[in-house]
Amino acid sequence: MTNRAKLLAGGLAALVLGLAGTAGAQDGAGGAENLLPGEQEAGTPDEPDAPDASDTPEPGARFEEAFPRMISDPVVQGDLDPPGPLVAQWSLSQAEKLVAFIEGIAVEGLDPADYDLQALRTALASGPSEELDALASKNFVWLVEDLRDGRTPMEARKQWFVIDPDRDRYRTGDLLEKALESGDIAGTLTSLNPSYPDYARLRDALAATPAEEVEKRKLIRANMDRWRWLPRDLGKLYLITNVPEYQLRLTVGGKPLKTYRTIVGKPGRTATPQLAEMVEGVVFNPTWTVPQSIVKGEGLGQRVLNNPSWARSKGYKATRGANGYISVVQQPGPTNSLGRVKLEMPNRHAIFFHDTPSRHLFARDRRALSHGCIRTERALELGMTLAILGKGASRDEAVAISTSGEYTKVMIEREIPAYITYFTYGTNVEGEMTQFEDIYDRDAPVLASLDKPRVDDRPGAIDDEVIVIENDPRDEG
């Protein structure tokens, strides 16, 4: 190892160790042992408004057990909410509380007109009846669906492939039963609100925005609803990136531990989709297998074979098969298009986070430049941090592997959730409420759905096209 490499490794190691220590301190458990989703005790102060202690994962549960349907494949929303009868008997007091909740639902960015207020009031005035039971039960179910799953129908969620586990975790029939047994109609429903702090900030922003600022209020409401498309509780340790903000956050306990600038997909078919995946490992000193659209379509394969000295300078190695097929792999090194690290995050979209040798591009304000994958500032720091927090390598091992120059895949024991989101209004990395550019024009269908009557019996299937990214991480700036 050169002296320069030793200095770099030492600085990175100190930073990573500090990050790991901070994570452990925030968790209060002396390390990274209890950072992942499903590892906090039910009813702890981290989640005071959980719908039911029995719904929270057991301490020590693996993420897959806690949130078994978060991952973006398959793309059918969980339909385990039992189809049994969802009509219960309501007292007048309970129905009055439901009416009051609907009258105030605008604070959550929903529209009271979506629910049968007048019919409920008329039924209430007539006293207890089967009609009141049916109306109150139906509207309670609608409120659960909108608060838990989001009001926006699937067809308006462009390139959104996150499977939200909340329908399975917080089942409508159980919530109805709990609300009527406790008499706390409002508390049961508001407990479904997303726990991420930005949702509460958006709600406050909505309350502070005058009624005459119609477009701004609609934008805030649309982004409040986007939070409902995600799991209510994202976990304790996770990555979350907001594509239009060009930022990635390493988050512990709902607070950003570290932020990184990103470069995301160009608009069009290379736009970065919205996903929830698991980081299973870290690849240090990666290779890049060049797609055939470049090898054959752009003539790279023949150029590598015809110009060995140029190929060596770029790190390319070509192999020609007996049938004439040429494959090209770029070896680890300073010119590798994936940089020094990539995160192992298997998914059918072929999207992942990786480094880049073209780090000057992070200085740009608009960074929608890639073929879909997310290039990440200081990716080596991030990779080492995740390898250590995920218990795939010790600090010294991470330093040695990262500076070896050799391809090494480090699988982590504790897989880490990664959320790729799309918010056009929210809190920026400086903590300020900001409107972000709608770089992929994904606002329009969501905003239009807010102007239309509520859709009943909404399908849970995600029918948008899955665009498999043929990654080209070369400098496009």
Once rounded to an integer, what is the mean pLDDT over residues 326-345? 94
* pLDDT score for 476: 60
Tokens of 78: 């969980």
Q: Give the burial string for 2-32 (b: 16+ CB within 10 Å, else e).
A: eeeeeebbeebbeebeebbeebbebbeeeeb
Q: What is the 3-state secondary structure (H, E, C) of the chain?
A: CCHHHHHHHHHHHHHHHHHHHHHHHHHCCCCCCCCCCCCCCCCCCCCCCCCCHHHCCCCCCCHHHHCCCCCCCCCECCCCCCCCCCCCCCCHHHHHHHHHHHHCHHHHCCCHHHCCHHHHHHHHHCCCCHHHHHHHHHHHHHHHHHHHHCCCCHHHCCCECCCCCHHHHCCHHHHHHHHHHHCCHHHHHHCCCCCCHHHHHHHHHHHHCCCCCHHHHHHHHHHHHHHHCCCCCCCCEEEEEEHHHCEEEEEECCEEEEEEEEEEECCCCCCCCEEEEEEEEEEECCCEECCHHHHCCCCHHHHHHHCHHHHHHHCEEEEECCCCCEEEEECCCCCCCCCCEEEECCCCCCCCEECCCCHHHHHCCCCEEECCCEEECCHHHHHHHHHHHCCCCCHHHHHHHHCCCCCEEEEEEEEEEEEEECCCEEECCCCCEEECCCCCCCHHHHHHHHHCCCCCCCCCECCCCCCCCCCCCCCCC
Lowest mean pLDDT among 174-178, 319-323, 372-376, 472-476: 472-476
In this predicted structure, the answer to whether residue 213 has a pLDDT above a threshold of 70 is yes
213 φ/ψ sector (left φ>0, alpha ψ -120 to 50, else beta):
beta
| pLDDT, tens only, 262-300 | 999 999 999 999 999 999 999 999 999 998 889 988 899
* pLDDT score for 235: 93
| pLDDT, tens only, 465-475 | 888 877 778 76
| pLDDT, tens only, 24-33 | 554 443 333 3
* pLDDT score for 10: 60
In this predicted structure, the answer to whether residue 386 has a pLDDT above a threshold of 70 is yes
Lowest mean pLDDT among 322-331, 412-421, 442-451: 322-331
Q: Residue 428 — pLDDT band, cuts 50, 70, 90? A: very high
Rounded to the nearest integer, the mean pLDDT of the chain is 85
* pLDDT score for 180: 96
Once rounded to an integer, what is the mean pLDDT over residues 55-82? 42
* pLDDT score for 82: 52
In this predicted structure, the answer to whether residue 134 has a pLDDT above a threshold of 50 is yes
In this predicted structure, the answer to whether residue 228 has a pLDDT above a threshold of 90 is yes
Q: Residue 56 — pLDDT band, cuts 50, 70, 90? A: very low
| pLDDT, tens only, 232-251 | 999 999 999 999 999 999 99
In this predicted structure, the answer to whether residue 417 has a pLDDT above a threshold of 70 is yes
